[in-house]
């Protein structure tokens, strides 16, 4: 399900793409096996990390933690656990400061995504990247509404379903 909403800005697009590696409404998960995940990650610009089953499970847990965090849930302990294992600390280069990866494979990707998330939170831009409020969807979308109060990835599917459920519950 590609949302009818415009994509996130370029600097946040990796978070959105990674978070949307599963389409829950259609029971599709691009991180379902190490081979499928490696192919999907490579085709979406994340490189080809060496993944085994434990590192893949870790990536999936990170994706769901990311969705929970962007949805406003308190997953501080989980984010700190991912950061402790994947991030070696800040480093400076010609491109500016960045969080350096402590490992390779899945942890290197997690460190890269945590770096993007950290920068977005410092600048306040992360609050516009949200998961759809529908629990059966959770698709990440970029909220461009003036007030920043969008809750559905698309009104055509999730918003319409919610309105119909609300209407039926009143009848």
> Has residue 45 been placed in a domain?
yes
Asked if 70 and 16 touch (Cβ cutoff 8 Å), the reply is: no
Q: Is the residue at 6 inside a domain?
A: no
Q: What is the pLDDT of residue 81?
A: 96
For residues 95-115, b (16+ Cβ closer than 10 Å) or e, as one string? eeebbbbbeebbbbbbbbbbb
Instruction: Give the total number of structural domains in the chain.
Output: 1
Does a structural domain hold residue 84?
yes
Determine, yes or no, domain membership for 115: yes
**pLDDT (0 to 100) of residue 165:** 67
C-alpha distances (whole Å) from 44 to each of 40, 41, 65, 157 are: 6, 5, 20, 25
What is the extent of the structural domain holding 58? 13-170
- 5 part of a folded domain: no
Please give the average pLDDT of every successive group of 10 residues along the chain, which has 171 residues: 76 97 90 96 94 96 97 96 94 88 91 96 94 91 89 74 67 73
Q: Which domain CATH number covers 143?
A: 1.10.3300.10
59 touches 109 (CB < 8 A): yes
What pTM did the predictor assign?
A: 0.89
8 within domain boundaries: no
Q: What values do phi and psi take at 96, rounded to 5?
A: 110, -175
> Is residue 159 in some structural domain?
yes
145 in any annotated domain: yes
């Amino acid at each position: 399900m590609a949302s009818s909403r415009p994509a996130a800005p370029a600097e946040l697009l990796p978070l959105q793409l990674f978070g949307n590696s599963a389409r829950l409404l259609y029971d599709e998960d691009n991180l379902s096996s190490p081979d499928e995940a490696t192919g999907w990650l490579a085709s979406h610009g994340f490189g080809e990390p060496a993944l085994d089953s434990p590192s893949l499970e870790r990536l999936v847990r990170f994706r769901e933690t990311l969705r929970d965090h962007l949805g406003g849930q308190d997953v501080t302990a989980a984010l700190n656990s991912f950061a402790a294992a994947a991030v070696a600390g800040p480093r400076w280069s010609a491109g500016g400061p960045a969080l350096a990866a402590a490992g390779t494979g899945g942890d290197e990707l997690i460190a890269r995504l945590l770096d993007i998330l950290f920068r977005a939170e410092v600048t306040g831009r992360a609050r516009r990247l949200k998961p759809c409020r529908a629990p059966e969807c959770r698709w990440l979308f970029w909220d461009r509404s003036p007030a920043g109060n969008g809750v559905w990835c698309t009104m055509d599917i999730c918003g319409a379903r919610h309105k119909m459920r609300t209407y039926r519950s009143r009848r």
